[in-house]
């Protein structure tokens, strides 16, 4: 938490909400209660005081809530009804829990921050979408607690635990003991994350932006509280802007077509340009189906990945590229258009 897991400005915002606004703070997480309780205690130690209100820690046992309700579609006026539908979380559950101590709490005076909207449609207007925070704790593997040496020392005496640990590490995109190609991808991705971590922490402006907004806004009337989510969403508009993901391949400075031809002994430069939300990606460049280059690439920066000073027949064939999101290496791939190079 002290190294960067707690998002920049979070402690300052919590202190302002608790001491200046006297606002009840709830943490609503899909984590199990025993883990969440430890995490909240650690965060409260950094903030300097207990800030979660009485009954304000809602966990996995408060998720997957069955609800019935209806909402009016603004564009058409149609009323959609939902009967006994399951939603990830519920502000009504929060209200019912808090009203045991604070009878004034309602869904309409709540504000929920989450990087997805887990609520029923008729509660969604109280939700504020937050950009993903990509800072990553890198201390788990090769940290002195779990290392190659520890694994080898236990290989004969406790093989079942070693096998279970290896399965966990592969599932967490840390290490693949059985697939060298996959392990090379994991290592490259973790190297990118480690390089990006300091900037991801120091440059994140979500909570300072929210704090500045709240300090400048009156919350004295029910109308002002009612309108708070929409006003804050508008204020955070630039942070919430998404970027279409794309991956372009360039041959000698021009976007590569499906079929390209270059003369023997000529030169060739292949470059890749990525656009998307990831702060950096891991490029896998393939020639005839085999990975020949791995390289890091930042969004919007054209990166040369291959350069041939004198083309030969061995350079002909099919070229393709995949951009791997290091924070989601198994599922966060962007595929570029392949091209075939003929050398004449």
Nearest to 11 by CA among 56, 64, 65, 48: 48
pLDDT tens by residue, 219-232: 888 899 999 999 99
How far from 22 is each of 1, 100, 102, 219, 249, CA to CA, in Å?
25, 18, 13, 12, 54
Residues 6+ apart with CB under 8 A from 272: 247, 248, 249, 250, 283, 285, 295, 297, 302, 303, 305, 321, 323, 336
pLDDT at 146 over 90: no
Phi, psi of 72 (to 5 degrees): -100, 125
pLDDT band at 139 (very low <50, low <70, confident <90, very high): confident
- Percentage of residues in the chain having pLDDT higher than 90: 74
Q: pLDDT-derived band of residue 242, with 50, 70 and 90 as boundaries? A: low
Is the CB of residue 166 less than 8 Å from the CB of residue 177?
A: yes
- Do 119 and 90 meet the contact criterion of CB atoms below 8 Å apart? yes
The CA distance from 279 to 305, in Å, is 19
306 DSSP β-pair partners? 270
| pLDDT tens digits, 254-312 | 999 999 999 999 999 999 999 998 999 999 999 999 999 999 999 999 999 999 999 99
Task: State the pLDDT at residue 76.
Answer: 85
pLDDT value of position 77: 84
pLDDT at position 150 over 90:
no
The per-residue pLDDT for 220 is 86
Q: For 259-288, give the secondary structure using H, E and C.
A: EEEECCCCCEEEEEEEECCCCCEEEEEEEC
**At residue 96, does pLDDT exceed 90?**
yes
pTM of the complete model: 0.80
Residue 162 has pLDDT above 90, yes or no: no
Q: What string of DSSP letters covers 64-86? A: SEEEEEEEE-TTT-PEEEEEEEE
């Amino acid at each position: 938490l002290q190294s960067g897991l707690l998002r920049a400005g979070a402690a300052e915002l919590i202190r302002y909400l608790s001491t200046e606004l006297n606002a009840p703070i709830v943490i609503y997480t899909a984590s199990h209660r025993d883990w969440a309780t430890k995490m909240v205690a650690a965060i409260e130690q950094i903030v300097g005081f207990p800030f979660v209100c009485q009954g304000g820690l809602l966990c996995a046992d408060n998720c997957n809530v069955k609800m019935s309700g209806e909402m009016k579609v603004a564009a058409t006026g149609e009323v959609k009804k939902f009967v006994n539908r399951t939603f990830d979380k519920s502000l009504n559950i929060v209200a019912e829990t808090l009203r045991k101590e604070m009878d004034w709490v309602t869904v309409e005076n709540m504000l929920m921050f989450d990087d997805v909207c887990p609520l029923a449609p008729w509660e969604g207007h109280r939700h504020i979408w937050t950009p993903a925070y990509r800072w990553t704790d890198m201390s788990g593997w090769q940290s002195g607690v779990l290392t190659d040496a520890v694994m080898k020392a236990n290989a004969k005496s406790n093989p079942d635990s070693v096998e279970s640990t290896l399965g966990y590490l592969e599932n967490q995109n840390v290490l693949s003991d059985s697939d060298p190609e996959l392990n090379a991808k994991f290592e490259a991705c973790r190297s990118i994350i480690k390089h990006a971590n300091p900037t991801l922490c120091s440059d994140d402006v979500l909570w300072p932006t929210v704090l500045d907004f709240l300090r400048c806004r009156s919350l004295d009337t029910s109308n002002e509280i009612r309108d708070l989510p929409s006003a804050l969403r508008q204020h955070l508009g630039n942070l919430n802007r998404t970027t279409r993901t794309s991956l372009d391949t360039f041959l000698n400075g021009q976007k590569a077509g499906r079929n390209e031809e270059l003369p023997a002994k000529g030169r060739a430069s292949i470059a890749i340009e990525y656009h998307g939300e990831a702060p950096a990606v891991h490029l896998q460049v393939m020639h005839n189906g085999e990975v020949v280059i791995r390289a890091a690439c930042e969004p919007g920066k054209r990166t040369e990945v291959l350069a041939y000073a004198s083309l030969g027949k061995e350079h002909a064939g099919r070229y393709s590229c995949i951009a791997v999101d290091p924070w989601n290496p198994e599922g966060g791939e962007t595929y570029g258009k392949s091209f075939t190079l003929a050398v004449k």
